[in-house]
Amino acid sequence: MSRLIVISNRVSAPKARSAGGAQGGLSVALAAALREYRGLWFGWSGNKTDEFTGHIDLQRHEGVTTATIDLEEQDVDEYYNGYANRTLWPLFHYRIDLAEYDRSFGSGYERVNERFAETVAPLIEPDDLVWVHDYHLIPLGMQLRERRLKNRIGFFLHIPWPPQRLLVSLPFHQRLVRSMLAYDLIGFQTEEWLDSFHHYIEREMGGTVEADGTICVGNRRVKAAAFPIGIDAAEFSGAVASDTARMANERLRRSVEDKHVIIGVDRLDYSKGLAERFLGYRRFLEEHDDCRGRVSFLQIAPPSRGEVHTYEHIREQLDELSGRINGEFAEIDWVPIRYVNQGYPREELAGFYRAAEIALVTPLRDGMNLVAKEYVAAQDPENPGVLILSRFAGAALQLKEALLVNPYSKDEISDAIAKALDMPKVERIRRWRAMMDSIEGEDVVWWRKAFVDALQSVGEGQSETEKPVELQE
């Protein structure tokens, strides 16, 4: 049986529950796959070094072997903070106005992908399956092919793929996309992102798309398909039943007394629609003065990517908005918004989800959004809460029984909150059951198996591919 080599920007070493290790569903699923396939997880350690040496730190945690490298300060600035998060991230989330194009960013991105390829290639055996993850490592497959790897190599994009009319604003966009043709299988979260990729291939590269999803450009044939990622529903149900979750649930319920709890949980990011969400909640308070003092909105938004200045702006904006809304509507014994800038372990979040009668998950654009699925999985089957979900999240294609809203419309958000508060229990149960069936049927194990099975079934990677091009001249 082939080994599985997982390559991602960062490596999440498995942690024992007894050691207090709270991990995301993706990490749990990949760790399980690596155990099954006797695999290896390779990526950046998160640490910096004065000079890149290519030294690999091999560790074994909970039956999973990890291999990590340290990067130089310049690497992190140009590859991670630069090209990945100041160029690709905003562009791929349709924020062309925030995308920054700097020659040094592209050079650093290419350099780090080369360093990944140089260090991981000697660890890969001829029969291994190689699975590369996300926008940080788009050119890695071509870099591995240049080093004569003939393995089956797959790539999965966890974020949206932008429309052709936006992607062409990226300098050297064809060169970036051409590097993807070195993969044998390319996976996207939804059919929408897949269709956008197809459209680019046909319009910009003169390629064709066959009925079975094979993309043909010149002499290259690459499979591409949608593989919507899920959560580990069974594992998350166990988290809800834990003592930690029960205590978190009770803590939140006590703090709000008899008020209706609305919850939002997001990384602090401009793609999550937090400012628009706050304004939608404000419109609800304006239009439903009888609900003032009866609802409590908890927004958990731990900061991230502090080195990128656009994240400083969104934090300042939310600080101002939450303060203004609280100043306008608060009473002596009631604060409309509780805005918390810190993260919580998964088991505590599970308890918070269970205590909330409404979840506001309203990103402006999201590849999938697993918070929506976690909220549904955390609910009491006998008395579930209501999910209000952006129609621009990938999860909206699976969770059709959520209250779908346009996150740019404060009126739609306001109306959805009112509808959720008034929704009869029988309707809440019906909607929850339909969503839960999808979450249990297409969970993270299903996703992982679907991708790996598809990768195993494609033809061998070609040993002779065109020399990879630089992303910057």
Active site members: 158, 366
**DSSP notation for 405-435:** E-TT-HHHHHHHHHHHHH--HHHHHHHHHHH
DSSP string for 74-87: HHIIIIIIIIIIII
CA gap 292, 234 in Å, rounded: 37
Compute the distance between CA of residue 164 and CA of residue 161 in angstroms, rounded to an integer: 9
Residues 6+ apart with CB under 8 A from 35: 63, 64
CA angle 17–22–28, rounded 5-degree value: 85
Which phi-psi region, left, alpha or beta, contains residue 41 (left: φ > 0; alpha: ψ -120 to 50)?
A: beta
Cα–Cα nearest to 390, from 160, 162, 235: 160
Q: Which of 276, 454, 242, 258 is CA-nearest to residue 364?
A: 276
- Rounded to whole angstroms, how far apart are CA atoms 329 and 286? 9
Give dist(CA 385, CA 387) in Å, integer.
7
317 exposure class (CB count in 10 Å sphere: 0-12, 13-18, 19+): middle
Compute the CA torsion angle 70, 135, 389, 327 (nearest 10 deg): 50
Q: Are 438 and 214 in contact (CB under 8 A)?
A: no
- Please report, for residues 116, 133, 346, 424, the alpha-carbon distance to residue 121 in angstroms, rounded to integers and kept in the order given: 8, 16, 35, 57
How do 57-61 and 64-72 pair as beta strands? Answer: antiparallel
CB neighbours of residue 248 within 10 Å: 22
Using alpha carbons only, how large is the chain's radius of gyration in Å? 23
Q: Rounded CA gap, 347 and 428, in Å?
A: 24
